[in-house]
Amino acid sequence: MSAIAGMTGIVMATLLLGAIALLVVGVRARRDGGSGAVVTTALIVAAGYAVLSAIGAIIALLAVLLQNPVGITVPVQEFWPQLPAGAEVGGTTATRAGGGFSSADLLIADLSLGARLCWAIALALGWLVPGAVAALIAVGCLRLRAGRPFAPLLERMTMLTAVVVLVGGLLAEVLGDIAGSMAAQEALAWTSAAWTGDLADPSVLLPQPGFRIDVPLWPVGAGFGLAALATVFRHGRQLQRDSEGLV
């Protein structure tokens, strides 16, 4: 899940920065009497992204639950295959001094229902979490177009999105790692083997299942960032009321 989490974190950071920039540009455009073309464009893009995220989440969920085999990332104990005795390779310009791979992307048939459910939810959340931020941006654009950039609805939705990002981002990573660890155990934890020839131990050719659960930090940062943005909206609404009372 590290690759998925990394991409989700990048998308989340981009959307969050875009939301803040949009707020500044939109408020300035309203104050200066701008046409609001930037806000309109952002509204279309954000709404489209939110819809595509919802569709992608449904497709990812159904694909994992209904397809066989299932593509999944599994952790393994650090592994590098050993060449048979007497075998040599040439042509490389560098020499591996140590190390190996600790994860693998596999197609696994007959995966258990529990592993499928965890993996399906993780992939769906990977779509829905950025989609929630995109939906927030779309609502913010609508409020800006209506001349109410600090509406109570936007504050509440921002705080709700903060919770979705925090909880959903953490669950996506943890459930994905649990699913991968379960799949590794089911597919790689062999208990018997038979072979012919001079091979002394087949374990040198097969990786052993690993177990890994990583807790990402980006959902925490993004969630608190959105919570802070909700606070900005609340103070902005109060300042707007005070300024209207002076007119």
Residue 198 domain-assigned (yes or no): no
Residue 92 domain-assigned (yes or no): no
Residue 140 domain-assigned (yes or no): yes
Single-letter amino acid code for the residue at 146: A
Region for residue 14 given its phi and psi (left: phi exceeds 0; alpha: psi -120 to 50; beta: otherwise): alpha
Answering whether pTM is above 0.75, one says yes
Residue 95 domain-assigned (yes or no): no
Domain of residue 30 covers: 2-79+103-189+206-246
Token reading at 17: 């920065």
Residue 170 domain-assigned (yes or no): yes
Query: What is the pLDDT, as a whole number, of residue 83?
Result: 72
Residue 144 pLDDT greater than 70, yes or no? yes
Query: What is the pLDDT, as a whole number, of residue 167?
Result: 95
What value does the mean pLDDT of the chain take?
80
Confidence category of residue 35, pLDDT binned at 50, 70, 90: very low
Residue 93 domain-assigned (yes or no): no
Residue 87 domain-assigned (yes or no): no
How many CB atoms within 10 Å of residue 176? 25
How far from chain centre, in Å, is Cα 43? 22
For residue 209, say if its preceding peptide bond is cis, omega within 30 degrees of 0: no
Q: What is the pLDDT of residues 183-234, one digit of tens each?
A: 999 998 887 777 676 666 666 778 889 999 988 888 998 899 888 888 887 7
**Residue 166: which of 127, 220, 226 has the closest Cα?**
220
Domain count, the chain: 1
Query: What is the pLDDT, as a whole number, of residue 54?
Result: 92
Q: What is the pLDDT of residues 90-114, one digit of tens each?
A: 787 888 788 888 898 999 999 999 9
Residue 96 domain-assigned (yes or no): no
